Structures are given as structure tokens and as C-alpha cells.
Amino acid sequence: MSPRSTFARAAELETAGQSFAVATVVAVRRPTSARPGASGIVHPDGTIEGWVGGSCAQPVVVREALRALIDGQPRLLRLSRDTPAEGRRGDGIVELVMTCHSGGTLEIYVEPHLPAPVLWVAGTTPIAGALVALGSAAGWRVSVFDPIADPDAFPGAERVVVGTDIAGLDPGTTPAVVVATQGVWDEEALAAALARDASYVGLVASPTRAAVVRAWLREEAGVPDERLAALRAPAGLDLGGETAEEVALSILAELVQVRRGTAAFVASPGPATLAGATPPDLAPVVDDIVLLDPVCGMTVDRAHARHLAEHDGVVYAFCSMGCRTSFIREPTAYVPASVSSTD
């Protein structure tokens, strides 16, 4: 593969959002069959397009390229039959003694090319907006999900989805998902995120609220414990942040740890088969309903009413999935049997 064709192929892979590494021969000392400028592309499955050395060198190049795809760091390989000289060692240089080599020295530069990381943010809260702005500025491809999302409110987002399809959208993508709905549809968003391949799933919530959501996911949605163990709730590093921007910064810092492999926790929820019911349809209902949440007493906005339940012919709106679940379990504890009028 000539340098020109390597560059063209690399451009195609970049456009397609694929991971790969480019290996380029930068120096040789004969005897060796390689020549400076020879290059190849190494794919995550270990296949290589192009040629950077003979049967002895190429497996080593592929091995180091795969390592580069994992840690994201480039390296200069020096293949020789001689023992590495102390003075030649340095950061980013990998000295390899090749007894099967032809006798010369081969230096190959390996550079990983990783697609921009993908961040999905659920919600339209100030923290969601701050996370979209900071994430896009840091090079993340950011999408926003919410039934009432206004694309104009998120200029930094690559995509704004006016809906809730976190589980089914882009099945080949492994996003980091941050749920920042702050109680509006936390449970449904997390159930969907934990049911797909994801590099990270986090919830913006207080520790008390996070415990309530975890209990709902386990008991009502049937999310397995091994999936719940990967949920970061509250999301973000404990930086003591108070403003929306500071909280978003703490979450982005945690995402950087996950991306660079330095996080001290399990971050990848992976796919899961939920034993419980599928998260309910979140489409707003505009028929006559009782807008006063009978569980907590909060008044629900009719235009955005989404957590609904019927009892004795009356439809009630709830501020959150937690209140709705409590009502369904024991409706008579919240509504007298004689109630039949609507608000």
C-alpha cells in the first residue's frame, strides 16, 4: 500500500467512524526488505492492509498496534537483533530484540486513530445543557434525548432527538450515557441505557434519589445486579461542584477517566435482558386527567404529563415513575374509593 493509498484509506475509515492504527516505516538499516515510507493499516481484528515488514516483523507490528488501540498512545518500534542500548531508550520507544529478523534494524511508527467518543445526554435541565456544551468543546460527539427538547437550545449537540429511543437507536454505537432529567424520566432512561452496550451510564441525582432509582430498576424493571453495579449514581467525581457547569465538569472528568482507562470502577454496563416489563410508552396524553399527583401532592404540567395510571376509571398523572409505581402497588392508600371526578 503506497502512502497515498494509505492516506485515502485512512480518510475513509475516519469518515466511517472506525478505529484503526497506521504503521509507517520511518528508518531502516540493511539488510532488511522494508523501505522507509512503507505503511499499512491495522484493524481492531488484527488484519492489516499494506506491508511494513516480513513475516517476522509484521506480527509484532500488529500486536503493538492493537495495544495502541487500547491505550490510545502512539509508539515507535525499534526491531533489531541487538540488545537495546541504554542511551536509545525513551518514552514512546519500544525496543524489541528479533532473533528471527534478517539482521538489520527496522523502526516503525505506530499511530492509533480512534473515533471521537460518543456522549448521549438525556434531559433538558441546566446540567444537561452545561454537559452538552462542555462535552462538545472537549471533542465528544454529543446527542440530546428528550420528548420536549428544542434543538435551538443545544447548539453544541451533533443531534437532538425529540424522543426517548435510547435503547434502539444506533445499535452499533457504544455511547456514554448520562441521565440528567432530574426526576422527570430517570427510571425509564436508565432502564433503556442499561439494556444496551454502553461505555458508561450515569445518573445526575442526590445519593438519596439515586438509591430510590436503583431500587426501582431492580424491583420493577428487573435490571440484573451486575448491570446495576456499573451504574454511576450520583454521576461524576466529587469535586464539590454546586453550579450546573461545575457538576457537568465533574461528570466530564469522570468520563475522561473511563475513556483513558484510569477509572477505579466498572464502567461498561453492556447489554442486558430485562426480566421486568418494558419501560412504558412516554408519549404525553392530553385527555382529561387528574393533574395533582396523589402520592406526593405535586401538580403535573398537562402538556408534559407522561407518568400515568388509571384507577376506577380515573386517569392520574404523576411527577415521577417512583410515585406512579407506589400508586399502582396500593392505589387505595392514596385515593378514596369514592373519588370519581377528574381535575
Number of helices and strands (H, E) in the chain? 8, 14
Q: Are 197 and 175 in contact (CB under 8 A)?
A: no
CA distances from 263 to 158, 204, 236, 255, 258 (A): 26, 18, 11, 9, 5
pTM of the model: 0.70
pLDDT tens for each residue of 166-191: 988 998 888 999 999 988 899 999 99
Q: Are 147 and 163 in contact (CB under 8 A)?
A: yes
| pLDDT in single tens digits along all 343 residues of the chain | 656 688 899 999 988 888 999 999 998 887 666 788 889 999 999 999 988 777 678 888 999 999 998 888 899 998 887 666 544 455 678 887 765 555 678 889 999 998 889 999 999 999 999 999 999 999 999 999 999 999 999 999 999 999 988 988 998 888 999 999 988 899 999 999 999 999 999 999 999 999 999 999 999 889 988 889 889 999 999 999 999 999 999 999 999 999 887 888 878 887 755 544 444 444 444 457 888 888 888 888 776 676 778 777 788 888 877 888 888 888 888 887 544 444 4
Q: Cα–Cα distance between 105 and 80 in angstroms, integer?
A: 5
